[in-house]
Structure 1
Amino acid sequence: MTAPPSRVQTVVVGAGAAGLWAALHAASIGPVTLVAPDPAAGSSTALAQGGIAAAVAEGDAPSAHAEDTMAAGAGLCDPRAVDALTTEAPLAIEELRRRGMVFDEGGAPTLEGGHRARRVLHAGGDATGRAILRALVASAREERRIHWRPERAVALLVDRGRVRGVRLERSELESWRVILATGGATGIFGRRTGPDRATGEGMALAWDVGAALADLEFVQFHPTALDVSGQPARLLTEALRGEGAVLLDAGGERFMARFDPRGELAPRDVVARAIALVRDETGKVYLDAISIPNVAARFPTVAASCAAAGLDLAHDPIPVAPAAHYFTGGILTDLEGRSTVPGLLACGEVACIGVHGANRLASNSLLEALVFGRRAGLAPDGRGPSVTPTEPLGGPPRPGRAPLERVRGAADRYLGVRRSAEGLDAARSVLIVGGPADGTNAPALVAWLLAAAARRREESRGGHFRVDFPRTVDAWAVHQVVTREGWGKLPAAMQAALEP
């Protein structure tokens, strides 16, 4: 990497899979400055266990992958986005391999929930994200047109309605365009599988310059996170269930057949709600992986997490419960990553392109980072999407400076797997109240907008479940969009509606 010029072609904020992939492709058209701390210190990519989905096996096809993605998305996946994701997936895998990525068992894919075929590629057993991150960091450090700035972006620079750079903690950096790849916001929850620092800062940066956000009510809760008092909610990858692990109630009985004929391989939203209900009924739910041959060797990350809690994955049923895992909503973008503000792009979990609908299919997140990270990196300068709010915001543009622990407490209590009008109203009240001077705005803002979006959606769909509106309503087959000016709606096929 070389020193940056005074004004660079592209600034990429974030160095997980989406940010690194965007930077590598943006470097083909001009100099890039990558603004991010060390990704190994807390990237969501590094924590990804499940793998990366792509229809590369004999007998599988991108069209089948697309159908499974659409089915998991509960009627809200954008068809164009899904087509781009699934048809470009094999190309992304091929490029990863050219950059030195080696998958397990010669690249033979495995089965995960919601997939009809074995199409999930792994590396290091359950350390796929870490292996991909290692390969991408090595590629980025070899690219002479990428300069790394290990700082934090605190604001976007705007000139005459266009984003022109970023303000860092100690300086400013001008650029032709800025790509936000800062990850999601599951860090607003106390019980979470992602990194502590994923608290929605990228969404807040975009909000501050007037960008539209979308689908904020849809949060994916991973069904099987470690449920041991005093221990973090470590993820127990879905691949365990794909290889034969089963869910048991406190009495040792399987229960998933009550909720879905696919059993343990149903989509994540179905399994998460089932586990939450059965925990209420019987007190505990366990993941039993004892029947999987060589399970500890095949899933070393999970085995280590269990061992830290005094449990043996190969011999003990492991207590599990849902935990916040993935933010489906984010900065509204077109298929090239362009936001509603000129000069501002987004990709990865911070963005909302409509590809996941109301619920993400397992192992599509790393794939999304690559497919749409590449598109954002190569995006030509052009007009992005435009939305016109039709209803008022219904509250202050900024909630109070609620401290992070207050935000997490409210999110766990009111914004989790099961929601209600009473709880959502309580969450908004808690978040509007000002906190001490060392409070932080981004988590409170994102949590407040999540609560507001969930309160407005009077139905249940995908990652949003209302106990007071438990049915899916056809009239709500829309994406909710919000800006500082108010709320709007887009049809399920939102990319067609966003065309200039």
Structure 2
Amino acid sequence: MSQYDCIIVGSGIAALATAAEICEKMSVLVITKGSIRDSNSSLAQGGVAATISKRDHWKAHFEDTCYAGRFHNLPEAVELLVQQGKLDIEQLIQNGMTFDKDANGHIHLGMEGAHQQPRILHAGGDATGRKLIQFFIERVNKNVTIMEHTMVTDIHVVDNRALGVWISGENQQERYISGKHIVLATGGCGAIFDVTSNSPFVTGDGLAMAYRAGASLVDLEFTQFHPTLLYIEGTCKGLVSEAVRGEGAVLVDDEGRRIMKGLHPLEDLAPRDVVARTIQKVRADGREVYLDISMISQFSERFPTITKLVSNAGLSLDRKKIPVAPGMHFLMGGIRTDLFGRTSVERLYAVGEVACTGVHGANRLASNSLLEGLVFAKQLANVLRQPTRDSNEKFKENNKYVMKTLHLPKKMEIQQIMSRYVGIERDETGLRKALHFFEQYVNQTSFFQCNVKRFTKEEVELLNMVTVGWLITKAALKRTESRGGHFRTDYPNEVSHWLQKRIPSSLKQQLEVS
């Protein structure tokens, strides 16, 4: 087919959950840059947060989400997430999704950073994302066309309406596919940094395409760095889930001193931005940082994915210490959407990490990302299922495409610039250096009106990385305060009053009313 009711770009939890909701009544095409399992969702170890315990309440989950997000969150988005999330998880279980249970046969609920209560569900120990992806693949397999190893290079927009996408397959052949609805579920942009937990395919493509299409983007300065990536001899070997600290592990330096002791009321389970900056400072002083797991019995059974990761890296767990360092993990900002995934471009939607509903604020609460994908996929599906007038518009080549060639940097250069100047800690001097680097490429005539059909997939990826790096840097320069995932060393003290309070009175009043 060359025309579909809905084209979904991406293959993570948000993409597949959306497809599962609509595929019985609509023709759906899922296009993914790698294989169907090459997504950040598949790599997710920690779990999915939900208030299914009788001792827990959605208001507590709401409060924790806003506290982690430094109260930059949109309250109605958070309320939707935590209330609907509980129902969606319960529905998943009824539909056959299995989560880990304790010795009494009850679902095991783990603890993670900045949560007041144990509310994290896991599947396969630390393989929750992989198990959820497999569950949804089985649900959509017969009803959805899946196109793997294919890159969507651009969105075709006429008069602010998305009409289709350009794709490039393994043979580099360009092809146009039209769709009544175009959904971006491409994840964030972790791979534009040199140390990241993300899949190497996650290079900000959805963000860049949406920008070229004229969609609004917001809050791009808020980038979350996960505190504990397995880090050996200057190389990231993968993610070590926060659930390890939830089970009691603590962060120590190479002399065995606990680095979070006394620095935050939650110590090793403090919000991720606090822990990541602390580890960064210890490492900057020339000391190594480790996760001390000596207090966790049967670690290999509880965390089989991490155990395999450590083994593949050539380390033994007999020492009971795992070397860690922070790395880019999650983008809180993204394509601005409403609570139903609608962007500022008609019939162009965004869901999951690539979207920004305001639910995460300035810093995402641990294990809210898989939940976000599930909840907002259903929200989006409610819109996609509504009857729409068929568009009779025929394809028109957009005459704005004028540039045939572009001067682009190497991928490693982009990653090094982002990590050095737009990383865990930022200041005006470094950000201006990054901006100068990007503007030597962005300022080329008609950079954003280039005809990507003339480029290879590798060139389009570089174009996207430059675009997103430039946008994040500009946003980071503009926000002269420290909040959540955006920390300015030249404005360091403004974060302190967000740390002192748990929830503002205005939100307390709203919760009491509801």
Q: TM-score higher than 0.5 here?
A: yes
AA paired with 2:119?
A: R
AA paired with 2:413?
A: R
Conserved in 2, the CA contact under 8 Å of 1:191 and 1:233? no
1:338 matched to 2:342? The reply is yes
* Matching residue of 1:271: 275
- The correspondence for 2:381, drawn from 352, 358, 377, is 377
AA paired with 2:472?
A: L
* Matching residue of 1:112: 112
Taking the TM superposition and a 5 Å limit, the aligned residue runs for 1:388-427 are 401-427=408-434
* Matching residue of 2:285: 281
1:168 matched to 2:172? The reply is no
Taking the TM superposition and a 5 Å limit, the aligned residue runs for 1:304-343 are 304-343=308-347
Conserved in 1, the CA contact under 8 Å of 2:33 and 2:201? no
* Matching residue of 1:487: none
**Per-residue CA distance 1:144-168 (angstroms, 9 max, x = gap):** 3x22233321111223221112122
CA-CA distance at 1:39 after TM superposition: 4.2
* Matching residue of 1:486: none
Q: Alignment RMSD, CA only?
A: 2.5
CA-CA distance at 1:286 after TM superposition: 1.1
* Matching residue of 1:480: none
**Per-residue CA distance 1:379-429 (angstroms, 9 max, x = gap):** 15699xxxxxxxxxxxxxxx9622211110101111111111111111112
- The correspondence for 1:34, drawn from 9, 30, 39, is 30
1:14 matched to 2:36? The reply is no
CA-CA distance at 1:41 after TM superposition: 5.0
Taking the TM superposition and a 5 Å limit, the aligned residue runs for 1:30-109 are 30-37=26-33, 39-105=35-101, 106-109=106-109
- The correspondence for 1:213, drawn from 199, 217, 227, is 217
Q: Distance in 2 between matches of 1:199 and 1:474?
A: 32
Q: Distance in 2 between matches of 1:425 and 1:375?
A: 39
**Per-residue CA distance 1:183-209 (angstroms, 9 max, x = gap):** 110010110011011000001111111
CA-CA distance at 1:312 after TM superposition: 2.5
1:441 matched to 2:463? The reply is yes
CA-CA distance at 1:95 after TM superposition: 2.8
* Matching residue of 1:363: 367
Taking the TM superposition and a 5 Å limit, the aligned residue runs for 1:342-357 are 342-357=346-361
CA-CA distance at 1:101 after TM superposition: 1.6
AA paired with 1:161?
A: N
How many residue pairs were aligned? 458
Q: Distance in 2 between matches of 1:126 and 1:308?
A: 16
1:471 matched to 2:470? The reply is no
Judged with a 3 Å threshold, the aligned counterparts in structure 2 of structure 1 residues 209 and 474 are, in CA distance, closer, same or farther, namely farther
Taking the TM superposition and a 5 Å limit, the aligned residue runs for 1:137-286 are 137-142=137-142, 144=143, 146-150=144-148, 151-169=150-168, 170-229=174-233, 231-286=235-290
Conserved in 1, the CA contact under 8 Å of 2:34 and 2:201? no
Conserved in 2, the CA contact under 8 Å of 1:221 and 1:268? yes
Question: Residue 247 of structure 1: SS of its match in structure 2?
Answer: strand
Conserved in 2, the CA contact under 8 Å of 1:221 and 1:417? yes
Q: Distance in 2 between matches of 1:475 and 1:261?
A: 14
Q: Distance in 1 between matches of 2:34 and 2:280?
A: 36
Question: Residue 220 of structure 2: SS of its match in structure 1?
Answer: coil
Question: Residue 441 of structure 1: SS of its match in structure 2?
Answer: helix
Question: Residue 258 of structure 1: SS of its match in structure 2?
Answer: coil
Unpaired segments ≥5 residues, structure 2: 169-173, 389-405, 443-454, 499-505, 508-514
AA paired with 2:146?
A: W
Q: Distance in 2 between matches of 1:102 and 1:38?
A: 27
Judged with a 3 Å threshold, the aligned counterparts in structure 2 of structure 1 residues 297 and 475 are, in CA distance, closer, same or farther, namely closer
CA-CA distance at 1:255 after TM superposition: 2.3
AA paired with 1:239?
A: A
Conserved in 2, the CA contact under 8 Å of 1:29 and 1:378? no
Q: Distance in 1 between matches of 2:19 and 2:365?
A: 26
Conserved in 2, the CA contact under 8 Å of 1:402 and 1:432? no
AA paired with 1:201?
A: D
AA paired with 2:469?
A: A
1:428 matched to 2:435? The reply is yes
Conserved in 1, the CA contact under 8 Å of 2:37 and 2:133? no
Conserved in 1, the CA contact under 8 Å of 2:23 and 2:140? no
Conserved in 2, the CA contact under 8 Å of 1:400 and 1:433? no
Conserved in 1, the CA contact under 8 Å of 2:237 and 2:309? no
Q: Distance in 2 between matches of 1:453 and 1:233?
A: 30
Conserved in 1, the CA contact under 8 Å of 2:183 and 2:351? yes
Q: Distance in 2 between matches of 1:413 and 1:428?
A: 12
AA paired with 2:47?
A: G
**Per-residue CA distance 1:156-182 (angstroms, 9 max, x = gap):** 122322111212223222121111101
Question: Residue 471 of structure 1: SS of its match in structure 2?
Answer: helix
CA-CA distance at 1:230 after TM superposition: 5.4
Judged with a 3 Å threshold, the aligned counterparts in structure 2 of structure 1 residues 475 and 157 are, in CA distance, closer, same or farther, namely farther
Conserved in 2, the CA contact under 8 Å of 1:218 and 1:463? yes
Q: Percent identity?
A: 40
Question: Residue 4 of structure 2: SS of its match in structure 1?
Answer: strand
Judged with a 3 Å threshold, the aligned counterparts in structure 2 of structure 1 residues 184 and 200 are, in CA distance, closer, same or farther, namely same
